[in-house]
Amino acid sequence: MDTRTRARGFTLVELLVALAVMALLAIVSWRGLDGMVRSQEQTRQRGDALLVLQAALAQWGTDLDALLPLEHTVPIAWDGQVLRLTRRSSAVPDPGALVVAWAQRNVQGQGQWLRWQSAPLRTRAEWQQAWQQAALWARNPGAAEKRGEVALLPLAGWQVFYYRRDAWTNPQSSSDASAPSGAPGAPGAPGAPNAPAAPSADTTIPDGVRLQLDLPPGAGLAGPVMRDWVNPLRGGGKS
């Protein structure tokens, strides 16, 4: 028999080489698939974080749009930790004014941006109580105060500026001067030092409000975010 016609099988070396090539291809394919899955997960997390941020900023703008300058009340006040607002209710029929507060507080070991809202208010006494409760909620809330809060998103820090007299200013440097006469802590109010009369309440709403957020590093969004709100009645198109 001619040995050249016999079927030739694989040698051990050829088999080992084939197995090595197949293993290498499997590793490359797995890494590519793993990278694609990771990329899709990061895109999903970023998209979810963006939706949460957009919803929070939409609520922020809605609160500012509904600012309500009632006599002997404060429509907006920022003390470096909590922003408190007096706003109209969006319910129909209107049940009364609302006090809303925004603050950053540590929740379960992580800084969170929070929003708090009072029950509808009909009297000045109710407003004063809710205004003080909002300040307490931002610093040392009890069970009663926490019932009105909503955790919005992780936050490393934030700042608020007002636009007045064609310039952005720190509200903390002029908060006393802008408080309406008769409001708690305002010039002329019971227990407040004697001072010239403050402007009327409707002039305390600034022409604009600038919000600066510092989002912490994470799987979603991170870094600085800025949003400007323009007073629709007195903003004059500034942004």
Q: What is the 3 state secondary structure string of the chain?
A: CCHHHCCCCCCHHHHHHHHHHHHHHHHHHHHHHHHHHHHHHHHHHHHHHHHHHHHHHHHHHHHHHCECCCCCCCCEEECCCEEEEEECCCCCCCCCEEEEEEEEEEECCEEEEEEEECCCECCHHHHHHHHHHHHHHHHCCCHHHHCCEEEEEECCEEEEEEEECCEEECHHHCHHHHCCCCCCCCCCCCCCCCCCCCCCHHHHCCCEEEEEEEECCCCCCCEEEEEEEECCCCCCCCC
Tens of pLDDT, residues 63-103: 999 999 888 889 999 999 999 999 999 877 878 899 999 99
The pLDDT score that the predictor gives to residue 201 is 35
**Domain extent listing, the chain:** 43-230
Residue 89 one-letter amino acid? S
Name every residue whose Cβ is closer than 8 Å to that of residue 173 and which is 6 or more positions away in sequence. none
Q: pTM surpassing 0.85? A: no
pLDDT averaged over 10-residue windows placed end to end, the chain, 239 residues: 57 79 78 70 79 94 93 91 93 86 91 95 94 93 88 94 92 54 40 34 75 87 93 61
Sheet holding 76-78, edge to edge: 76-78, 82-87, 98-107, 110-117, 149-154
Q: Retrieve residue 230's tokens.
A: 């323009």
The pLDDT score that the predictor gives to residue 193 is 34
The pLDDT score that the predictor gives to residue 6 is 55
